[in-house]
Chains A and B, each alone.
Chain A
Amino acid sequence: DAGVTQSPTHLIKTRGQQVTLRCSPKSGHDTVSWYQQALGQGPQFIFQYYEEEERQRGNFPDRFSGHQFPNYSSELNVNALLLGDSALYLCASSLGVGLENQPQHFGDGTRLSIL
């Protein structure tokens, strides 16, 4: 049973460039959330996708956008990269958006470095 998979594992970009990160959720999961984890900090919520729509969004600028596909996989896009965007980007998947707090399962992340 495959867990959450993310690609690529590492990425180096320069300021002003654009980047796309990819995530495949755990088998059976239909909800994907993205988090940014700066070095030495806890993860910060970026946004969540369910039924191909953005359901919630954290305190991140519009440069951060996403997409969810019919097979539940997801992409995170970041435009006009800044040095401060250097971080580990984590994808988490879960089942449904009902009242019960289903635990989120995390991938190993994509390490993004901005030069």
Chain B
Amino acid sequence: GNSVTQMEGPVTLSEEAFLTINCTYTATGYPSLFWYVQYPGEGLQLLLKATKADDKGSNKGFEATYRKETTSFHLEKGSVQVSDSAVYFCALSIAGGTSYGKLTFGQGTILTVHP
């Protein structure tokens, strides 16, 4: 089956520090990969996506590269801000077939950024 594994959390950083959140996946097909962010008391917001190998998704200073050879989609940001404090979810979806449109999520990584 399909699964997503995120790095153990939570992650605590000082403002302007470099961020990496690791994500690896197992998929029976050829997945699209996503990062979603969830702020306290809110639903999930799409942060970025990549639909094929070597694609780089980017948004709001965050980046992630689809690495098929290592089945990974690590999230990075060069300089985090206090406002980036949230829970980050890595997810995959398989195009076509019976699993289409179903998002499979990792367990989430809590990020706290201190001033």
Residue B82 lies at the interface, judged by CB distance under 8 Å to chain A: no
Identify A104's interface contact among B51, B98, B103, CB under 8 A. Answer: B103
Q: Contact between A107 and B43 (Cβ–Cβ < 8 Å)?
A: yes
| Residue in contact with B45 in the complex, picked from A102, A106, A109, CB distance below 8 Å | A106
- Chain B residues in 8 Å Cβ range of A100: 95
Inter-subunit contact A56/B101 (CB<8 Å): yes
User: How many chain B residues touch A (Cβ–Cβ < 8 Å)?
Assistant: 28
**Residues in B59-113 with C-beta less than 8 Å from chain A:** 89, 91, 93, 95-96, 98-108
B44 touches A106 (CB 8 A): yes
Choose among A43, A45, A56, A99 the residue that contacts B95 (Cβ–Cβ < 8 A).
A99
**Cα A104 to Cα B104 with chains together (Å):** 12
Tell me the total A-B contact number using a CB cutoff of 8 A.
70
Say whether A58 faces chain B, with CB atoms less than 8 Å apart: yes
Closest-CB distance, A99 to chain B (whole angstroms):
5
Q: Is A105 an interface residue (CB 8 A)?
A: yes
Number of interface residues of A (CB under 8 A): 29
* Contact present for B101 and A104 (CB under 8 Å): yes
B17 at the A/B interface (Cβ < 8 Å)?
no
Q: Are B101 and A33 in contact (CB under 8 A)?
A: yes
Q: Measured between alpha carbons, how far is A79 from B104 in the docked complex, in Å?
A: 25
Instruction: Please tell me if the beta carbons of A42 and B96 are within 8 angstroms of each other in the complex.
Output: no
* A57 to chain B: closest residue by CB: B102
Chain B residues lying within 8 Å of A104, measured Cβ to Cβ, are 46, 101, 103
Known: A90-B43, A106-B36; 11 extra A-B contacts, CB below 8 A, are A33-B103, A40-B108, A41-B108, A43-B44, A45-B104, A56-B99, A56-B101, A101-B100, A103-B34, A108-B42, A108-B43
Instruction: Give residues in A with beta carbon < 8 Å to B.
Output: 4, 31, 33, 35, 40-45, 48, 55-56, 58, 90, 92, 94, 97, 99-109
